[in-house]
Amino acid sequence: KAGVTQTPRYLIKTRGQQVTLSCSPISGHRSVSWYQQTPGQGLQFLFEYFSETQRNKGNFPGRFSGRQFSNSRSEMNVSTLELGDSALYLCASSLGGWREENIQYFGAGTRLSVL
Amino acid sequence: DAKTTQPTSMDCAEGRAANLPCNHSTISGNEYVYWYRQIHSQGPQYIIHGLKNNETNEMASLIITEDRKSSTLILPHATLRDTAVYYCIVPYSGGGADGLTFGKGTHLIIQP
């Protein structure tokens, strides 16, 4: 079956703009998690959505937000972009949530460059 | 999340077994150990996970010590395509809110 799909794969924005990234999970998966990866900080957890509700949140400012739709697809939004937001944004889906014995499957990511 | 400690980097000759260690001395009784790997600029890929018993799948074997304070991921016949960063993760299963903490991982380099 199809894996986790993230769109777009690459994005270039300027400071102050906002951006929306999309993630389509594996069919049947209800949990979607988002991560930010930068060379300096590595992979950091942003938030997790389960059945349209944000269940967990990492330590990121309020400029980072997300939502999940009834079909489990998820979007992540970053407002007022800063240069430091340049990163690879990864989405992962799983059947339940990371608390249970659940394997997370990752998408290929969206590479965001802020100029 | 329970803290994990891995070597920063390791080399292995192609065709040989690659043994990647991980210490997780603060692991609790109901926490699983997961291994993922990430090939440059791609999304992390799940490899294997276990609780107490040793596990094997088509990709690798996982050996967990009896006290569960450490584990070893074994790639039995390493190929050049196994060059990647390998992450050992112990997610918190008691109601924490930090998602998966990846740490720095081990950069495994397979030498021809």
Q: pLDDT digit string (tens) for A50-65?
A: 999 998 888 899 999 9
Residue B95 pLDDT level (bands cut at 50, 70, 90):
very low
Contacts of B101 in chain A (CB under 8 A): 45
CA-nearest residue of chain A to B98? Answer: A58
Contacts of B91 (CB under 8 A, 6+ apart): A98, A99, B1, B31, B32, B34, B99, B100, B101
Across chain A, mean pLDDT equals: 92
Give the integer Cα–Cα distance in Å for B27 and B43: 26
Query: Cβ of A58 and B49 within 8 Å?
Result: no
Q: Is the pLDDT of residue B98 over 70?
A: no
CA-nearest residue of chain A to B50? Answer: A101
Query: Cβ of A45 and B42 within 8 Å?
Result: no
What's the Cα-to-Cα distance from B83 to each of A69, B19, B33, rounded to whole Å?
37, 13, 21
Whether omega for the bond prior to residue A8 falls within 30 degrees of 0, making it cis, is yes
